Chain A
Amino acid sequence: MAEKGSEIRLDHVTKRYPGQKAAAVEDFSMVVPAGKIVVFVGPSGCGKTTTMRMINRLIEPTSGTITIGGEDALKIDPDDLRRRVGYAIQQAGLFPHFTVAQNIGVVPGLLGWDRKKTADRVEEMMDLVGLDPGEFSGRFPRQLSGGQQQRVGVARALAADPPVLLMDEPFGAVDPITRGHLQDELLRLQNELRKTIVFVTHDFDEAVKLGDKIAVLGDRSTILQYDTPDAILANPADDTVAGFVGAGASLKALTLLRVRDVELGQAVTARVDALPSTVELGEERFVLVLDQRDRPLRWVHLKELAHAKSLAGAGRPVQDSVTLQSTLRDALEAMVNEGGRAVVTGNRGEYVGTLDLTTVTEVVQRLRANA
């Protein structure tokens, strides 16, 4: 993986269909920064897909200029241009008569790579998107689940290592759980690849999760607001944007923050083999019992501690914990489930601290104040 993202610049781009009064896209200007994910979000029919499709000229703009990495996209042969711009769509659009490996190898083939290089590349891409080449390369699309098809779609889009990737609701047709996984994987990939990605969706939550920047689009693809997700959540530009952000903006903002970004509290802890009488609670009313490898086991209350013979069976088990990578929204969920503090664990499941509601509230208020 060599090629990093290039900047995309749209300048006064307009698309007008003959015989229609209103333009489909009117005077659209935007800079998509190199190596970032920009999400176009807006209601159906607002022109977000049309705008995206003008970048690889599946739709020719009526006027305006588009440059990719400084190069005028309108001066490149459209087929060449599209071979250099990754493209992934809803329901993947895989070729049903090609195997998975053939599907992924199409663009390298069009670019004239030799057989060996293409085969190596296909294998690399399958590893990248988490499909075992041995098991999947000979399968046909209809033998895959929806989520697996989308992975192949992403692998195909990335196969020729394009600096720019266009994604049109690529996860729109899969179930919510799979969609969550695919989103996580896209973020993981992007951490490695640093492509410039234009991502179209009508799901604002998806936009918040994936976007480095979000463009909220209105009719004729007018930009209502173009900013970072937290800025849009904290401070929507107008009522339309606010309506689109929807209720629960504060909760959505919590999905942007990770547990590792906030200051953790500490509980009183004790090893599971310690004698109950040796535990020093001080001001606290609970002790967190850890196993031999420091993994959290149980919460024991002050009163139970007095009667308990050992810490192994006293109190109640820790049912829900979060990791440093979890979002604050997950942490909030854990707090609600646990009825108080959420236990935070590290990479090996070891105890690293606790998080309480006061901390979360403070974070939300600070976000509001900064925006």
Chain B
Amino acid sequence: MIPTRETFGNIPPASVVAFYGLAVVSMVVFGVGVWRRFRLWRQGVPVSTGQLVAGGFSQLSNKWKSALCRVLKEGVGQARVRGRGMVSCAHITLFLGFMVLLLGTTLLEVDHLASGISAGLKFHQGLFYVGYEFTMDVFGVLFLGGCLFFLGRRIRRPSSVGHRATDWYVLMSFLAIGVTGYLVEGLRLVWQHPMGIGASASPIGLLVAGWFGSMTVAGARSAHLWIWWFHSLLVFGFIASLPFTRLIHAIVGPLNLLLAQPTLGKMVPVTVEDVERTERIGVASIPHFNRQQLLSLDACMECGRCEEACPAFATGKPLSPKALVQALKGAMSTSPGAVPAGGNGACPVPGLHEGVIAADTLWSCTACSACVRVCPVRVDPLTLLTDMRRNRVGESELSGTAATALRRMQSSGNPWGLPAADRANWAEGLDIPLAKDHPDFDVLYWVGCAGSYDRRAQRVARAFAKLLKKAGVNFAILGREEKCTGDSARRLGDEFLFQELAQENMATFARYKVRKIVTHCPHCLNSLVADYPQFGGNYEVVHHTQFLQQLIAGGRLKLEDGKGLAEPTTYHDPCYLARVNGIHQAPRELLMGVAAGSGSHLNGLREMARRRETTFCCGAGGGRMWMEEEAGQRVCSLRAKEALATGAKTVAVGCPFCLTMMTDGVATQSDSVQVKDVAEILADRLNL
């Protein structure tokens, strides 16, 4: 006998009709629920479809290929869910169980329809049947295991995880669906009483059937029908309620993976024409966000990873990326939903800056991108926040030291407000060529404002310049022609000040036909790499640690063999270098004085737990460099504590802002530990 089972076996025809009726009802409710969310997203500014459908075939296919790959890898493959130990495992098992059960049930329906057309089309029998039943049984266990884990976690409820009453409903209904599924199968086996492989294909079902061994066939049939109904109702309830619970992330999450900006450190430009047309800049109310941003709010599951990674939250500032996303989601859900006529500035919906998001919350962010990196579904709290900052700055709602820094960038081209004429003062006595005197340079050394004006960072510039000279590099600096890249301005929300500075710098680059740039400042680097190309400035930009590493690899700088680090050293990864631009190997190799690629020799370095892409901010990014830190602990103190805990005597950094912050943080906790840039350490080793 071919092992199989009858679909809707033991179910009276009237029940089958009712089943399909309810199935339609639940799907309609589901559809309405999703539609209602969709309407909320549609309040937003349309995402320029030009981006998605413009360009040549190969360009487009690449774009879509990478987007679909993201969905496959990060959605189906759960790549971004990993990294949280047991919780990640439980999610992956629950997810796999859910997907397989969903797929299995769909296949069953396909088989039912097919065999309805012709008995010959039935495939749910024989070997397929055995494989199917066994797979469903096994993945059912995974599904239930995941459910039980998350129920346990809801009872313990870690503070970073959001909680709502409907969460109990979701998990309990999952649990009940799984359990009743096995009961239905067990009871079916009792009355059907299959033999041989037809029975052992369902090991768990057989186990359950054992509990009902004393039941009569008629009793089993009756119980089977009842529990089958209960199981079906639970499933319909689940389908209907999905868009109204957190489970909507199962749909919106993958959608967001498809649509979200895949790279860190990028911001969307605004033009003067945009501002003239809309009479506003940035975001003051929900419809000012774009549709993808609004959609992303529904993808948030409140898992709390962003909050755990956030330096502002960790030090008691009034900012949690998760709370920000949830507050915006709340505002979106209660927003009237109508798109204002012509998308004008006169907004009929309540403003976000009046009670939804506090000013202190907006200004607490260091733009370190940690929250964006850890989000399993690529929600981007940082861009939500910087878009709102743009509005605050545009509405003249920023005052204090950050305002002073912006004013100085505007008037003097640097946040210190020092004269442009003094920009090359750091180089005095080093005989460093200016681009205007030496236009035939190979590489431009972009010194940045800190290296030019900050007393401490000037020493980094000097050390690096000496190394360049020692290696015989044909380089030049711009001197007074260099201006702030505008990174802080852009991330503080002054888009047009940034654009003005960028245009001036790009004009200077064009004048000297600059192609290759080396800089010791990761903020300048990111701006040149991520911001400038948006305005037509494309350059090869390398960090000084990469450049020095190449010089050593090429034999142009020679380190004495076997002469490693003089004393225990740790390395603090700057966010914009390691996390945002993925540069974290070169500084380490440089510190250890080893050749590129032989990463195994790096174990002499005293590493902190949070390092490379998962590094923890020093507190200076996002314009925070120019603000006082009033609430809570200082971010730099927390990070310095981590650095000191490694037992290091030297804290190496690769960023002038980190240098300032880590020096401050270390100074309050230790007298004997010094903070130095990697270039200074190398210059010391070469006795420069």
- Report if A and B associate in a common complex: no
Identify the A interface with B (CB < 8 A): none
